[in-house]
Structure 1
Amino acid sequence: MAKRRKLVAPSSADLTKLEEEFRRETSVPEPAASQVRGVAPIAKIAADAAAVAQPASVADRARQAQLEASEAKLNDAQTEGRLLVDIPVGEINADAMVRDRAALDPDDMLELRLSISANGLRLPIEVYELPGADGGNAPKFGLLSGYRRLMAVRELLGLTEDAAFKTIRAIIRPKAETDAAFVAMVEENEVRSELSHFERGRIAVISAQQGAFLNVEDAVNKLFATGSKAKRSKVRSFALIFEELGDMLEFPDALSEKRGLKLAQALRQGGEDRIRDGLAAATYATSDEEWAVIESVIETLDAPVRDPKRGGRPRAATQVDDWGHAHQFVSSNGVSVSPKQDAKGFVLRFEGRDLDAELMDGLMEEIRTYLERS
């Protein structure tokens, strides 16, 4: 029979040695060791989330709310075009829109340059972002208003090379509809530096040609909506002058209201070709000389030459008596209107001290508008 071995309990030293050998054989990296010792990954994630979710203090929450409100106001100001920025003058296209002012007065520009040089730019210009601006050398902004101020700053930069004139204070407006942009431009110049009669007519025609308005009539009504009917009637007259003679006149801005209305009436009578021929054949150096040429042609329109080849009886002179006084009325300003009927139709006679070319032009326009509506 085999002899059984006697079991002897290990000593404490043996137990310590066994434990050390076990630890060496089963050692793992520190993060994993922490997990082996009972720290599960989900517990660590939960601890981190709890730390982040700890409620901030009252002061921190108030500061965060204030920052969010300020950011919202800044975004609103930028979206609505209420934010002032400094823009390099080279990044602005001054001719992105056709300007209503045909020429700049040298004396006015000198005065403006001196003012900006001494006091800075008191009023910002208005621009809008051009579509497709990609950071190249092409202008990034189109000018809405402030043409004279932009030109003055550019001239100062060229004269002084001062870094202060390399940028100009501006408001970036949202890209408005074209008609609204034209209206804003006209309103600014009407208030700050009144346009000439010819410039008003010119911008009405150009804006209509560019499709901002249905036609010249629509352009005049919207561009000068706050003006009186008489003023809009005058604008239409000068718009006609620009359409028919804009390429021929050397001194259009010098046309006074009286001369312009007389010229417009001659154009309505069909005198365009004869006036153009007269201007082309004449030599003149001043606005008065130019007008003398025009007026000499207009005087020939008052007595048209009858073609003798047409034959027939000479027409009887129009009778101007026997006016219908029974139907006459007198306006509050003393102008009387009397009707008369003959074989050809009706005639109205206007009398009164306050009658002038401007009033008659307005009356003719009102009659035309009324007849076209009926």
Structure 2
Amino acid sequence: MARRRLPPPFAAVDLPVEDQSAGRDVVRPPVARVAAESAAEAALRSLSLEMQALRDQGRMVVSLPLSRIEENHLLRDRLGSDPEEFSALKTSIRGHGQRTPIEVCEISPGRYGLISGWRRLHALRDLDREEPGRFGEVLALVRSPESAAEAYIAMVEENEIRVGLSYWERASVALRATRAGVFPDSRAALRQLFSGASRARRSKIGSFVTLVEALEGAVQFPAALPERLGLALAQGLAQQPSLARDWRKALTALPAPLTAEEEQKRLQDLLTPPRGAAQTARPGPARQELRPGLWMEERGGRLVLGGKALSPDLIAKLADLLRRETDKT
């Protein structure tokens, strides 16, 4: 009786796999197939975990609906946007798409607070209104700042790198973040928000903090205020804080519409009030009458003599007396 060879137990259940090198189908054992599937699942899990880690670290760009972004999550440092620059940004995004992602943090499931990228977000929202359906999402990096202070630092650093802030804007964000309780005082805010700036630069921003406190809301073009004029105004307020009330009154009384140049001219005028007004505000010592027809008065470090009795002969005698007194010393 002839023996019949039985096929291998796996031959009836495995599907053929094409052998590319030999040009024929071969059969893979169950153990090999399970091992391959396990390896593929492990690789997929590893990739998934790595992508999640990159996302958690804010290193992976994700696409988010514009409607899920809260732009007022932080008090913004930038007071406005140049119309020409903003128009150029919209044109670039319309033609080439969003090149640089914004930065956000997750504030609740599916909701994100804006850290940086205010202009890009607004440009996309404008474009979405103009062309519905094409610009409904924004590319973003999801950050996880450890504190509100870290979020503010990230916002300021991003704007410092891309488009430098004005001194007023720098001082404004430091002051507003302090008022919101993010920092204990404005000094701490300046140290942390502008840690990369030199000591002299932080000192200038600190001077502008004084100016913002005094004139916030009264200046119509604060971001256009030149550094030199702003520092001079801050110095004037430091020497005489009561000027803040008069300056606010003068600025709010200016007719509208007003240009930045006109406002700056008015601010410069406030630093150099009319001579009569200055003398009235700070009167000197009372005039002393030396004798009938002759008086003496001190004016800002100068000794002034006057009167009908001040003859050329008397002037010569006084000059000789002063020379002798000078020689003695």
Tell me whether the two structures share a fold, i.e. TM-score over 0.5.
yes
Give yes or no for the alignment of 1:267 onto 2:233: no
Q: What is the CA–CA distance in structure 2 between the aligned matches of 1:211 and 1:311, rounded to whole Å?
A: 51
Matched, 1:280 2:280: no
Aligned counterparts, 1:217-236, within 5 A: 217-236=187-206
The amino acid of 1:82's aligned partner reads R
CA distance change for structure 1 residues 66 and 282 in 2, over 3 Å: closer, same or farther? closer
Identify which of 166, 173, 187 aligns with 1:196.
166
Query: Which structure has the highest strand share of the two?
Result: 2
Cα distance in 1 between the residues matched to 2:153 and 2:287: 54
Q: After superposing the two structures, state which structure 1 stretch, 78-87 or 202-211, moved more.
A: 78-87
TM-score (norm 2): 0.71
Q: What is the identity, as a one-letter code, of the residue corresponding to 1:274? A: D
Number of residue pairs the alignment of both structures matches? 258
The partner residue of 1:242 within 212, 218, 226 is 212
Runs of 4+ in 1 over 3 A off after TM superposition: 54-58, 300-304, 310-319
Aligned partner of residue 134 in structure 2, secondary structure: helix
- Give the residue type in structure 2 aligned to 1:68: R
- Which residue is equivalent to 1:167? 137
In structure 2, which of residues 29, 50, 64 is the aligned counterpart of residue 87 of structure 1? Answer: 64
Q: Which runs of 5+ in 2 are unaligned?
A: 1-30, 289-296, 303-329
SS of match in other structure, 1:69 = helix
Q: What do you get for the CA RMSD once the two structures are aligned? A: 2.8
- TM-score if structure 1 supplies the norm length? 0.63
Alpha-carbon distance between aligned partners in 2 of 1:152 and 1:246, rounded to the nearest angstrom: 27
Pick from 49, 74, 93: which aligns with 1:116? 93
1-side partners of 2:205 and 2:213: how far apart? 12
Partner of 1:63: 40
User: Displacement of 1:83 after TM fit?
Assistant: 2.8
Which range is displaced more, 167-176 or 221-230?
167-176
CA shift at 1:156, angstroms? 0.7
| Percent of aligned pairs with the same amino acid | 33
Partner in structure 2 of residue 153 of structure 1: 124
- Pairing of 1:14-29 with structure 2 (within 5 A): none
Shift of residue 301 of structure 1? 9.8
Provide the C-alpha distance between the structure 2 equivalents of 1:281 and 1:119, rounded to a whole number of angstroms.
47
Tell me the residue number matched to 1:323: none
Paired with 1:229 and 1:115, the residues of 2 have a C-alpha distance of 37
Tell me the equivalent position of 2:272.
299
Q: Deviations over 1:323-370 (max 9, x none)?
A: xxxxxxxxxxxxxxxxxxxxxxxxxxxxxxxxxxxxxxxxxxxxxxxx
- Equivalent residues of 1:266, 1:301 under 8 A apart: no
Structure 1 spans left out of the alignment, 5+ residues = 1-53, 320-374
State the alpha-carbon separation in 2 of the partners of residues 169 and 294 from structure 1.
Answer: 43
Once the 2 structures are TM-superposed, how far is the Cα of residue 55 of structure 1 from its aligned partner?
Answer: 9.8
Q: Distance in 1 between the 2:32 and 2:85 partners? A: 64
Equivalent position of 1:258 in the other structure: 228
**In the alignment, residue 173 of structure 1 is paired with which amino acid?**
R
Match of 2:12 in 1: none
